[in-house]
Amino acid sequence: MADSSNIASTASSPSGSAYQTDALIAEDIDAYLDQHQNKGLLRFITCGSVDDGKSTLIGRLLYDSKMIFEDQLAALEADSKRVGTQGQDIDFALLVDGLAAEREQGITIDVAYRFFATEKRKFIVADTPGHEQYTRNMVTGASTADLAVILVDARKGVLVQTRRHSYIAHLLGIRHIVLAVNKMDLVDYDQQVFDRIVTDYTAFASSIGVDAFTAIPLSGFKGDNIASAPSASTPWYSGPSLIAHLEQVELANVAAQDGPFRLPVQWVNRPNLDFRGFSGLIASGTVKPGDGVRIVPSGRTSTVKSIVTFDGELEEAVAGQSVTLTLEDEVDCSRGDVIGAAEDPPQSSDQFEATLVWMSDEALKPGRGYWLKLASQQVTATVQEPKYEINVNTMAQLAAKTLELNSIGVAEIHTERPITFEPYDRSRALGGFILVDKITNATVGAGLLHFSLRRAQNVHWQPTEITRDDHASLKNQKARVLWFTGLSGSGKSTIANEVEKRLNVMNRHTFLLDGDNVRHGLNKDLGFTEADRIENIRRVGEVAKLMSDAGLIVLTAFISPFRAERDMVRGMIADTEFIEIYVETPLAVAEARDVKGLYKKARSGQLKNFTGIDSPYEAPQDPEIRVNTVEMSVEDAADYIIQRILPLK
């Protein structure tokens, strides 16, 4: 990097027309504000490392549009001398690297957002510098971007990282790619160098499906082709300047208006009994009063009555606006539902193929239940073993059992109930999702739905007339799932049996699902590996859910050693109906009892993956009911449980 005074002096008198606003600000501020009231907004991402001159480029964009004030520049100069890596020169990376922890370690661990404006548009730049965490950060920044600026050092040409950046940008659905061939000043503005890089990149781009991009020869440092083009040094270049291009590309929210109407419902607005509005951000299409709509997944149809806003009712609303709709009919509609165009409603499914980007230190666990959030829907989802992992440098497909931090792969996703979606390449809002760990609550992955694996894509969820409440009330009871968990030999089955006998005497309709019995039939194809144990519990959860839908009080007696799977079942069952009962028995006591002789076998190594011996038991942290079989007899425990679950009407 050359001397800092050079940067400041060229930047303070930008050559292009994009920023020539000072006169208007001084002379007629109202005219200026009027002009700026109606700008569009473009979000873009810059990809590249400090070596590519990215920070210098961003620094210049900010400086030229007066987003760096003199006091910040003074602080930057002081910081550059103190901790900078550019000797006595200005280190623009310091402007971009915000956190003290990062500065001390000399790494950037995150995505920073920068803001600047020109005459025509406002810009939000997602800046994702980075090293190890690159994939995760770039995916985050790219997810909201309409355009990607991929920086290439003219001296180095298309590198592995150029491919990686381009692949991720394309994967995340960015339709506008700018190949910014930077540092042209260091190759004497040689057209042949530029042309060769463009040729190399064209070949690669078409191999990953990028059919159009805009290549611009730049010098972020000298300012060539940033604000105006062609610069005196590149008379051979006939394309737009970077700024001119950023000002004219089509905005994603305009493109989204072309799609069918979709409103994911975030919140139901009920100020009083006479008003019921459905609030959300329009994901695609447009809507007018009188339009026919279908609510998915229920399948009910109605007509839009009004578009209500604080500023009065609207004649029409478009993709990108946050609105509240009222409907002509009293239909069931709540958070998570999607209101769609009646003639072209979105699909629902519970099995998908998706690309996953793993964002957590803890690797993906196939079969485990994670929270999946898509638009305003939240469900439990499991990921199957990946079909393959993608090497983001070579695009090669590799065999994989799991996905580690920063890896990208393709896998099947199963959700515990159908979700309403669009393929990601049609809708980011209804095709992008995150996965959340149920115990740590961390966001562990981001995913892109491609298609449903069900053939019956056009089968909408059939609204049934007899509800689960109808089933239960006919039986004169409330449905419940009493989920007994504990070590082998803790007394789960015995106590559950005792509880069922008492309920039977009380004329309650019950059913007891026992671990051993289920393994003779429904689950006889499953063994005792971690993955099989997870599937065992998932199936039992599904059966318990069906039975509770039928109005029964279901008792289950399974070791169910993993907290995540118990929580998965809890997520399937209606609120307040799932009652976790921890049958607490110290390992030593259960082992001493050893009713089935299993502990003995496990200790001698004849039995593998035995809970408590060589496979963990994760005790419930906050069960609804806890019974200690050392202190309580079977009868006392049963009485206590009955007393805790009453009333059941």
Partner 1 sequence: MRSLTHLERLEAESIHIMREVVAEAANPVMLYSVGKDSAVMLHLARKAFYPSPPPFPLLHVDTTWKFRDMYALREKAAKDAGMELLVWQNPEAIERGINPFDHGALHTDMWKTEGLKQALNHYGFDAAFGGARRDEEKSRAKERIFSFRTASHGWDPKSQRPEVWNLYNARKAKGESIRVFPLSNWTELDIWQYIMAENIEIVPLYLAAPRPTVERDGMLLMVDDGRFPLEDGEEPVLRSIRFRTLGCYPLTGAVESKADTLSAVVQEMLMTTTSERQGRTIDKDEGGAGMEKKKQEGYF
- Residues of span 117-156 touching partner 1 by CB under 8 A: 117, 121-122, 124, 136-137, 139-140, 143-144
In the complex with partner 1, which residue's Cβ is closer, 28 or 344? Answer: 28
Structure tokens at 489: 């030999």
Secondary structure percentages of the chain, helix, strand, coil, to 5: 30, 25, 45
Question: Does 20 participate in binding partner 1 (rule CB under 8 A)?
Answer: no
Beta bridge partner(s), residue 284:
262
Residues 41-60 as x/- pattern, contact with partner 1 by CB under 8 A: x-------------------
Question: Does 99 participate in binding partner 1 (rule CB under 8 A)?
Answer: yes
306 labeled binding residue: no
User: Which residue in the set 9, 13, 23, 37 belongs to the binding site for partner 1 (CB under 8 A)?
Assistant: 37
One of 548, 560, 615, 633 is an active-site residue; which one?
A: 560
Task: Based on the residue annotation, tell me whether 360 is a catalytic residue of this protein.
Answer: no
Residues with Cβ within 8 Å of 487's Cβ and at least 6 positions away in sequence, in order, are 559, 585, 587, 590, 611, 612, 617
Local structure of 491: helix, strand or coil? coil
Q: How far is CA 113 from the centre of its chain?
A: 19
Question: Does 492 participate in binding partner 1 (rule CB under 8 A)?
Answer: no
d(CA 190, CA 404): 43
Selected range binding partner 1 among 61-69, 451-459, 470-478, 506-514, rule: CB under 8 A:
61-69
Question: Does 109 participate in binding partner 1 (rule CB under 8 A)?
Answer: yes
Q: Total residues contacting partner 1 (rule CB under 8 A)?
A: 83
Using the structure block, give the residue that is written with the tokens 């402007």. Answer: 95
Question: Does 619 participate in binding partner 1 (rule CB under 8 A)?
Answer: no
158 labeled binding residue: no
User: Which residue in the set 175, 335, 417, 471 belongs to the binding site for partner 1 (CB under 8 A)?
Assistant: 335
User: Which residue in the set 52, 89, 110, 565 belongs to the binding site for partner 1 (CB under 8 A)?
Assistant: 110
Shortest reach from residue 25's CB to partner 1, in Å: 5
Question: Does 79 participate in binding partner 1 (rule CB under 8 A)?
Answer: yes
Question: Does 67 participate in binding partner 1 (rule CB under 8 A)?
Answer: yes
Question: Does 36 participate in binding partner 1 (rule CB under 8 A)?
Answer: yes
Question: Does 262 participate in binding partner 1 (rule CB under 8 A)?
Answer: no
- Looking only at residues 517 through 576 of this chain, which bind partner 1 when binding is defined by CB under 8 A? none
Selected range binding partner 1 among 396-404, 425-433, 524-532, 593-601, rule: CB under 8 A:
425-433
51 labeled binding residue: yes
Shortest reach from residue 6's CB to partner 1, in Å: 20
Helices then strands, counting H and E runs in the chain, come out as 21, 28
Question: Does 426 participate in binding partner 1 (rule CB under 8 A)?
Answer: no
- Looking only at residues 356 through 375 of this chain, which bind partner 1 when binding is defined by CB under 8 A? 359, 371, 373-375
In the complex with partner 1, which residue's Cβ is closer, 107 or 531? Answer: 107
Using the structure block, give the residue that is written with the tokens 């980075």. Answer: 130
Question: Does 232 participate in binding partner 1 (rule CB under 8 A)?
Answer: no
185 labeled binding residue: yes
Question: Does 29 participate in binding partner 1 (rule CB under 8 A)?
Answer: yes
User: Which residue in the set 429, 547, 557, 641 belongs to the binding site for partner 1 (CB under 8 A)?
Assistant: 429
489 labeled binding residue: yes
d(CA 435, CA 355): 12
Residues with Cβ within 8 Å of 11's Cβ and at least 6 positions away in sequence, in order, are 60, 63, 64, 223
Beta strands at 277-281 and 292-296: parallel, antiparallel or unpaired:
unpaired
Structure tokens at 332: 């069931």
486 labeled binding residue: yes
User: Which residue in the set 2, 12, 51, 69 belongs to the binding site for partner 1 (CB under 8 A)?
Assistant: 69
d(CA 352, CA 435): 14
User: Which residue in the set 2, 25, 160, 474 belongs to the binding site for partner 1 (CB under 8 A)?
Assistant: 25
182 labeled binding residue: yes
User: Which residue in the set 17, 39, 385, 502 belongs to the binding site for partner 1 (CB under 8 A)?
Assistant: 39
In the complex with partner 1, which residue's Cβ is closer, 153 or 416? Answer: 416
Number of C-beta neighbours around residue 439 at 10 A: 11
Selected range binding partner 1 among 263-271, 361-369, 483-491, 526-534, rule: CB under 8 A:
263-271
165 labeled binding residue: no
> Cα angle vertex 16, ends 13, 17, to 5°?
110
106 labeled binding residue: no
In the complex with partner 1, which residue's Cβ is closer, 103 or 300? Answer: 103
Shortest reach from residue 191's CB to partner 1, in Å: 36
491 labeled binding residue: yes
User: Which residue in the set 2, 5, 12, 75 belongs to the binding site for partner 1 (CB under 8 A)?
Assistant: 75
Residues with Cβ within 8 Å of 626's Cβ and at least 6 positions away in sequence, in order, are 581, 582, 584, 620
Shortest reach from residue 113's CB to partner 1, in Å: 5
Q: Residue 480: CA atoms inside 13 Å, Cβ hemisphere, count? A: 26
DSSP line for 50-96: GGGTHHHHHHHHHHHTT-S-HHHHHHHHHHHHHH-SSTTS--THHHH
48 labeled binding residue: yes
d(CA 63, CA 226): 12
Q: Are 371 and 460 in contact (CB under 8 A)?
A: no
- Looking only at residues 432 through 491 of this chain, which bind partner 1 when binding is defined by CB under 8 A? 432-434, 436, 441-443, 446
Structure tokens at 210: 């990028």
Q: Are 499 and 493 in contact (CB under 8 A)?
A: no
Question: Does 275 participate in binding partner 1 (rule CB under 8 A)?
Answer: yes
Nearest to 142 by CA among 114, 174, 110: 174
Q: What is the dihedral of CA 296, 298, 302, 305, to 10 degrees?
A: -70
d(CA 402, CA 383): 10
Local structure of 375: helix, strand or coil? coil
- Looking only at residues 587 through 616 of this chain, which bind partner 1 when binding is defined by CB under 8 A? none
Binding site members for ATP: 486-493
- Catalytic (active-site) positions: 560
Output the known binding site for GTP.
Answer: 48-55, 127-131, 182-185
